[in-house]
Structure 1
Amino acid sequence: MPVALWALVIGAFGIGTTEFVIAGLLPAIAADFGVPIPVAAYMATSYALGVFVGAPVLIILGSRASKKTMLAFLAGLFVIGNLVTAMASSLEVAILGRVVTSLTHGAFFGIGSVLAAEMVPPQKRVSAIAFMFSGLTVANLVGVPAGTWLSQQFSWQTTFYAITLIGVATVIGVLALVPATPKPKAQRIGHEFAAFGNAKVLLAMGITILGPAAFFTSITYIAPMMVEVARFPEGSVTWLLMVFGFGLFVGNWLGGRFADKALMPMLYGTLLGQGLVLVAFHYLAHSQVASVLCIFLMAAFGFATVSPIQKLVMDKAKAAGAPTLASAVNIGLFNLGNALGAWLGGLVIALGFGFTAPNWAGAMLSAGALALAIASGLLDRRHEISPEIALR
């Protein structure tokens, strides 16, 4: 892979750490600010919603800047946001810092996905995107458990100071490794939004929302679920998150490896597998051994869909001439799904269904994503059979 992709991996590692580490910090944040855990989870939902809103806005505002300039700017914004969260004296200020940080996420991955695909031959583009997303998986394998450990040993604020340093490393990596890129040609904003009138793009984006939302519904509340239901010691959350991170790593590798050959069958299998694992997790969460296995499989099946879906959206949007905007918006939709999952998981807990309820709620979302994937596949087959329809 081109050396410039390592700058994207560094950024993805920092972004993945700051996004997912919240799952291990919720009890400490709730105790520090004196709020229930579902209220502390606004730290997760506000971040996800910020990604959804910020991605298209920043892509449009930065449409005249080069990819390298935008990546460096976004990395700087990441540093500022995490500093605000680390120094926050109230939950409201901490949430504000999360929102500032979230503005980086969608645009960074949107621009990075396009840049990664442009650097390699067509037959390796999903693999290149998966390589960039490997920063997310390593974040969950190393960064999130380390951040959880820092919180338990020192404070949750210490975790965000450490993430700030990762942001500084990202700025340096972008400036040092990413080659100069030309400024894009000016386009009308209306043209940029043309891709969103494509039914295939909309179906793919629907999968984006529901698929990741399924496992995020569960993982957001994994700390109370494992401590209160499976009776793991509180300190075990750190290595349980490492299991989750290893599952993400394996899933990302499998998704990048096999989606270049059979993208849609890969989506069908992984979405079905994710839903079945979440159903099993609901009934087996009292077992420590079964819980560990379900956490790994949930992550592996869930993240195996990420780079294939991103490539699917980019392919469908490219014909409309707006792959960068569609790519960034799709990243925002991943996080809209995360917000949906965190909210739904908190809702079923608040309604009294218990800490295992997010698992069956997530399974329902996975079933919805599978239905959309099947609809997308049928639409592709219909267009292959009737070329006249495809040209419309």
Structure 2
Amino acid sequence: MLFLLTNKKLLIFILTVGVFGILNTEMGVIGILPTIAQNFNVTVTQAGLLVSLFALGIAVSGPILPLVFSGLDRRNVMLLVLGIFVVGNVVSIFTNSFTVLLIARIIPALFHPIYMSLAFTVAGSSVSQEEAPKAVAKVFIGVSAGMVAGVPIVSFIDNTFSYEMAMTFIAIVNIIVFVATLLFVPSMPVKEKRSYGAQFSVLKRPVLWISMIAVLLLNASVFGVYSYVTEYLYAVTHMSPQWTSMTLLLFGGANMLGNIIAGRVLTEYPVKAIIMFPLLLGIVYIVFFAIGEYRVPVTLLTILWGVLAGGIMANLNQYLISSVAGDAPDFANGLFVTSCNVGTTVGSAFGGLLLSTMGVEYVILVGIFSVVLSLIMLLIRSYLSNSAKKWTASL
């Protein structure tokens, strides 16, 4: 506890770099799939299994493994997960078998939700309850960096040096975090162990299920568009590759800024933020759809989109679930990770369907429709939460 009181900044920094390493392992290969296909003599579609099966592993283990490990010393569990990621990364560098590469990705994917869940829980519990959203927001900077910055960094190393060097970069990040956790993070035993049944009991709350659906839809609204934004900027906005790269870089920076803003807004105005962020995102998509062919306005709009997306897909989504299942934090964070990954898969699938059937300019409709549905869920969530509070007050 003394460490948490005097070294909170160092702890949160280690957690932030940790989630960057975990997310970079998941997303970094997206930018080098053609190289992987060539190196392992498979098609790009087959290479894509490295991404889709990783996400499937997360979705399957998300509600289960964080709960299984919830009663163990948190530092030891984090070291276990980081160790598994390091081994998987090292195997990925040296293997010549695509099957082995798949296994080296799937096994860490199963443990991915454990570290993510612990990172949010530890960050939030290291400060007061009022300051928790800000602490979690800082950790989410690592999430955004891993999802947005990791892809171009890994791609750059691959293009400049080699596939092996790109995978080495991913491994080095996780090794650094493993060593930092070993040296600077103290033992963190769970003082109040809740039974699995007690933690599972939060699933009886309708407001939790509504929150999970809202998170799924919000993540679908972001990734249903983001998955195809490069092609959109090429085909609809007619941006050059250089301008497109700059725009996506601005999106990534705005994404990280959105984490900080959302953390502060959720701390001060949580009720308003729950509706405000999705509503603004919906407006951005509508304007996007109307002025998609104009480069400068689209570039500026992409920055605003990045701020809102960063605040929503990280801080807001996590808050929606953790705030209604705070008595089972590890399990709740596992549900958050699963809901986000299912939302990403659903959004990308529908975005791809619209792209193939109607054209890339209509991909924006995935964002609009998903936001509208999420707002309906959030209004239902607000009604259920208020009803629960009135019932509790009457006791």
- Paired amino acid for 1:208: V
SS in 2 for 1:316: coil
Looking at structure 1, the residues matched to 234 and 90 of structure 2 have their Cα atoms a distance apart, in angstroms, of 30
Structure 1 residues 126-137: aligned runs within 5 Å: 126-137=133-144
Alignment CA distance shift 1:232-1:36 (3 Å): farther
1:107 pairs, out of 114, 117, 123, with 114
Structure 1 residues 1-392: aligned runs within 5 Å: 1-22=8-29, 24-25=31-32, 35=43, 41-86=48-93, 94-139=101-146, 142-155=149-162, 158-183=165-190, 187-234=194-241, 238-305=245-312, 306-318=314-326, 321-349=327-355, 351-387=356-392
Looking at structure 1, the residues matched to 322 and 200 of structure 2 have their Cα atoms a distance apart, in angstroms, of 13
Looking at structure 2, the residues matched to 301 and 11 of structure 1 have their Cα atoms a distance apart, in angstroms, of 24
Do the aligned residues in 1 keep the contact of 2:81 with 2:108 (CA within 8 Å)? no
Do the aligned residues in 2 keep the contact of 1:140 with 1:242 (CA within 8 Å)? no
**Structure 1 residues 226-259: Cα deviation after superposition (integer angstroms, max 9, x where no partner):** 3444444445554343222112112111110111
- Structure 1 unaligned segments of length 5 or more: list them: none
Do the aligned residues in 2 keep the contact of 1:277 with 1:298 (CA within 8 Å)? yes
**Structure 1 residues 292-329: Cα deviation after superposition (integer angstroms, max 9, x where no partner):** 234322221122122233234223213xx422111222
> TM-score normalised to the size of structure 1?
0.87
The alignment-based identity, stated in percent, is 22
Cα deviation, residue 25, structure 1? 4.1
Looking at structure 2, the residues matched to 93 and 338 of structure 1 have their Cα atoms a distance apart, in angstroms, of 26
SS in 2 for 1:180: coil
SS in 2 for 1:179: coil
SS in 2 for 1:162: helix
SS in 1 for 2:210: helix
Cα deviation, residue 153, structure 1? 2.9
Do the aligned residues in 1 keep the contact of 2:27 with 2:150 (CA within 8 Å)? no
- Paired amino acid for 1:347: L
Looking at structure 1, the residues matched to 66 and 191 of structure 2 have their Cα atoms a distance apart, in angstroms, of 12
**Structure 1 residues 240-288: Cα deviation after superposition (integer angstroms, max 9, x where no partner):** 4322211211211111011112112112111122223233334444433
SS in 1 for 2:360: coil
- Report how many aligned residue pairs link the two structures: 386
Do the aligned residues in 2 keep the contact of 1:79 with 1:167 (CA within 8 Å)? yes
Alignment CA distance shift 1:151-1:366 (3 Å): farther
Alignment CA distance shift 1:228-1:332 (3 Å): same
- Paired amino acid for 2:127: V
Looking at structure 2, the residues matched to 44 and 245 of structure 1 have their Cα atoms a distance apart, in angstroms, of 20
**Structure 1 residues 190-245: Cα deviation after superposition (integer angstroms, max 9, x where no partner):** 22211111122222222221112211112222333334444444455543432221
Alignment CA distance shift 1:373-1:262 (3 Å): same
Looking at structure 2, the residues matched to 45 and 169 of structure 1 have their Cα atoms a distance apart, in angstroms, of 27
Looking at structure 2, the residues matched to 359 and 88 of structure 1 have their Cα atoms a distance apart, in angstroms, of 40
Looking at structure 1, the residues matched to 95 and 61 of structure 2 have their Cα atoms a distance apart, in angstroms, of 22
Looking at structure 1, the residues matched to 296 and 34 of structure 2 have their Cα atoms a distance apart, in angstroms, of 23
Looking at structure 2, the residues matched to 208 and 156 of structure 1 have their Cα atoms a distance apart, in angstroms, of 35
Bigger mean CA deviation after superposition, 378-387 or 331-340: 378-387
Do the aligned residues in 1 keep the contact of 2:29 with 2:154 (CA within 8 Å)? no
> TM-score normalised to the size of structure 2?
0.86
Cα deviation, residue 80, structure 1? 2.9
Bigger mean CA deviation after superposition, 108-117 or 72-81: 72-81
- Structure 2 unaligned segments of length 5 or more: list them: 1-7
Alignment CA distance shift 1:386-1:364 (3 Å): same
SS in 1 for 2:216: helix
Looking at structure 1, the residues matched to 220 and 211 of structure 2 have their Cα atoms a distance apart, in angstroms, of 14
